[in-house]
Amino acid sequence: MVNVGILGATGMVGQRFIELLDQHPIFNITALTASQRSAGKRYEDATTWYLDNKMPESVRDIVVVDTDPSQVDDLDIVFSALPSDTAAKVEPEFARSHIVASNASAMRMEDDVPLVIPEVNPEYLDLIEVQQKNRGWDGFIVTNPNCSTIALTLTLKPLYDRFDIKRVYVSTMQAVSGAGYNGVPSMAIVDNLVPFIGEEEEKIETETLHLLGDLEDGVVTPASFGVSASCHRVAVVDGHTEAVFIEMEDPADVEEIESTMADFTGLPQKLDLYSAPKNPVVVRSEENRPQPRMDRNESGGMSVVVGRVRQDVAFNNSFRYVLVGHNTIRGAAGASILNAELINEIL
């Protein structure tokens, strides 16, 4: 077994980590960290549990410690669910001696930090050696992208590889859990839609091109097509919905678009990693799917569900589709866990 810890374990993403790691065949939770006000308490006493499933028995009696490398022993991997400002200070401290699989945005766009979706760009893990050399660390940091970016990029990767992409427009309808339990006041979202999510559009536009870029001699050159995003918060608990408009360089038809996404697999599927879905992208034919309540938990929340694939007659070689991805599973905790499974398998 591989001993793991969770940084920021009492928050919503920290709880997802616990839920997904409970009974994991490889990873064994031995340490939970949180703020000083929670340190010294049993996890059950320190945490208000937000998820539908009950708190696992395996973590109830673990004593929470302060988020400091000196407070944890004998850990192979730490999963970070920290807020970005805290992560920027704390994650490098842990990376001096630990493997850090981070969901935080703080280190994502650092030149020597791999930003990885295992089905999309596993070769970026080659940056680990560059990072360790640059920073003098025995450990390292690997990050996963923004939740909306992950869902979008999983659908773009097979299309980009086969047809090449000229430009992408995406309009997101994002669940409130993406902002954390206290992130959006109920009076702000009930009977409402909020047409702004701080830094979200910039993350999608930047991270997507980075993920689909090329790594050569330790340097990532981003993909060169255009990405334009508009992001909105809606009154859905879990599951981000995205309306995607894509113009490609090469001709295709709807059937080719659907089959290319549906047949897509990557290295995690080849290696049969525990958290890897059989199909990273599931394509549905019903005219009213996908829907977050009905489709967010596909493959345990690790698949992105696509529907309403149709030709866009406004432009040549253009198509439209709708996707749903579970933002706190595939878009957050599950993404970090899959990264860690890949690292554990190949490094």
Query: C-alpha angle 316/322/325, rounded to 5°?
Result: 135
Q: How far is CA 280 from the centre of its chain?
A: 13
Q: Cα(23)–Cα(170) distance, rounded to whole angstroms?
A: 37
Contact 201, 229 (CB under 8 A): yes
Q: Cα(9)–Cα(48) distance, rounded to whole angstroms?
A: 11
Helices (H) and strands (E) in the chain, counts: 12, 14
Whether 231 is catalytic is no
- Identify the active-site residue in 98, 210, 240, 326: 240
244 beta partners: 170, 321
Q: Is 25 exposed, middle or buried (0-12, 13-18, 19+ CB in 10 A)?
A: exposed
Give the three-class secondary structure for 95.
helix
Whether 326 is catalytic is no
Contact 209, 223 (CB under 8 A): yes
Across the chain, which distance is largest between two alpha carbons, in Å?
62
240 beta partners: 325
Q: Which residues, 6+ apart, have CB-to-CB distance to 19 below 8 Å?
A: 51, 53, 56, 333
Place of tokens 């980590």: 17
311 beta partners: 319
Contact 246, 186 (CB under 8 A): no
- Identify the active-site residue in 147, 210, 231, 326: 147
Q: Which residues, 6+ apart, have CB-to-CB distance to 225 below 8 Å?
A: 165, 166, 167, 168, 209
Q: Cα(149)–Cα(153) distance, rounded to whole angstroms?
A: 6
Q: Catalytic residue numbers?
A: 147, 240
